[in-house]
Amino acid sequence: MIAELKNHSIALHYLSVLRDERTDISDFRKATIVLTQALVLEASRQLELSAESIKTPLEKIEGQKIKGKLVFVPILRAGLGMLDAALDILPNAAVGYIGLERDEQTAIAHCYYSKMPNLSDVQKVFLLDPMLATGGSASQSIVKLKELGAKNVSMVSIVAAPEGLQHLQELHPDVDIFTASIDRELDVNRYILPGLGDFGDRLFGTN
């Protein structure tokens, strides 16, 4: 399943902030936070709940709390910009890290770091990466998460290319994808068009 934050004024506003080449680093970070929170709320819509008896100041009711464990996995580097925003929504989640970097010529990502909590007894793993371009980084990460026992993975990405979405759906049809925008296409260097350029560079001030 692919879910896009369509026709939402806040999402459209902050996406334009991210895309605008004049946006400075602090506004870029702020827009990343807002869009991540909107996406994590969407991606959490179907989480399993368990009934819990609670007492309001006035009476006892049957409340509902999120069941079991959750894990966020940001793909380094750019996914780090989404992590704190995601933890603001679900502060009890554990965090795993996976470091991947695309080769500039081939766009094939290589893994340079990985550290994961136990994934076998987790209700859901949210994979965080703002850019889904060819889908290579996401699909490599999902293979690793599944090898480590993850049974329910959702991909949370701010901008996605149709090529990457198709690639991910072919390889991992069980993974739901949440994105703020499905953009037009990849360019010859496998950058997303219209996109927003290199997310990691804009988030961290490198180039």
| Residue 93 phi, psi dihedral angles, 5° rounding | -65, 145
Residues 133, 155, 168, 203: which binds ligand URA (CB under 6 A)?
A: 133
Of 103, 106, 174, 187, which is the active-site residue?
Answer: 106
Residues 109, 131, 165, 168: which binds ligand URA (CB under 6 A)?
A: 131
Q: Which residues bind ligand PRP (CB under 6 A)?
A: 75, 77-78, 100-102, 107, 109, 129, 131-138, 164, 190, 199-200
Report which secondary-structure segment, H or E, holds 36.
helix 25-43
**Interface mask (CB under 6 A) for ligand URA, residues 56-95, using x and -?**
----------------------------------------
- At a CB cut-off of 8 Å and minimum separation 6, what does 175 contact? 142, 153, 154, 155, 168
CA separation for the pair 145, 127 (Å, rounded): 9
- Which of ligand URA, ligand PRP, none has residue 191 at its interface (CB below 5 to 8 Å by kind)? ligand URA
User: Which listed range, 3-11, 17-25, 89-97, 189-197, lies at the site for ligand URA (CB under 6 A)?
Assistant: 189-197
Asked whether position 142 contacts ligand URA by CB under 6 A, the answer is no
Q: Distance between alpha carbon 167 and the CA centroid of its chain, in Å?
A: 17
Place of tokens 């929170």: 37
Work out the angle between the directed axes of helices 25-43 and 9-19 (0-180°, nearest 10). Answer: 140
Decide: 114 and 90 in contact? Cβ < 8 Å: no
Asked whether position 192 contacts ligand URA by CB under 6 A, the answer is yes
Residues 27, 101, 163, 198: which binds ligand URA (CB under 6 A)?
A: 198
Return the active site residues.
Answer: 102, 106, 198, 201
